[in-house]
Amino acid sequence: MKYKKIAFVASHHQEAQNALKALKSQYKNVRQSDADVVVALGGDGYMLRALHANLKRKIPVYGMNRGSVGFLMNEYREDGLLERLEASQAAVLSPLEMKAKTISGKVKTALAINEVSMLRESRLAAKLTIRIDKVERMPELICDGVIISTPAGSTAYNASAHGPIIPMGADVMAMTPISAYRPRRWRGAILPQDAVVRIDVRDPEERPVSAAADYTEVRDVVSVTVRSYRELTTTLLYDPEHNLEERIIKEQFDH
């Protein structure tokens, strides 16, 4: 596909800002509201922000790595960008929707392209009850927290907590405990993408817990409901030689 209107965006880091200046001098730049593709310069964290910013616009995002890890990013090169965009492949992602209810009764809704996570706020371990599609599956999980991740997010925080890495095309999400104390041998679950997960916090005042959807955090929650939000999708573009599926497979065998 030919992309004629490019909006360049970059993180605040100097390396990304230098790349932004160089690309703007070589290619025509338009506002994001007028673009048919966004080129994001930075790391994976900035790529997430760019994808979130363009969720409702449904504009594809092509990332070039000017950050640290850059798992979701393509290699940075200034030359041949138009040809690379035309030859790029697309990964269509559905975010997760988090509805978090706090001790005060307020409900906060947020979307996550990578994961929804719950973490203890104090020295005391969290005590959580897990329900899947209204069926209680775990009366009490004692842990530091729990992560529910999309395939795109399975290589991020989920992987660092020893959760499974999921192929991009799989219609599933991963649930992974963080430092589970009891049941000690529980390593998590793979859930259908259309499953609705509800996690209730036991003793929320004594054992406070926070919830986060990517970078949106809610403190002092009593319950969190998570589902795949198929009403919205976002598109990530990548070079054929930088195949996202291949990177996910490779990640599982790297040590």
Q: Which residues are catalytic?
A: 44
Q: 8 forms bridges with which residues in the sheet?
A: 39
Residue 203's closest CA among 133, 131, 140?
Answer: 140
> Residue 166 — φ and ψ, nearest 5°?
-110, 135
Return the structure tokens found at 92: 């269509």
Omega within 30 of 0 (cis) for the link into 208: no
Q: How far apart are CA 202 and CA 126, in angstroms?
A: 8
* Cβ count near 168 (within 10 Å): 17
How wide is the angle at C-alpha 97 spanned by C-alphas 185 and 45, nearest 5°?
80
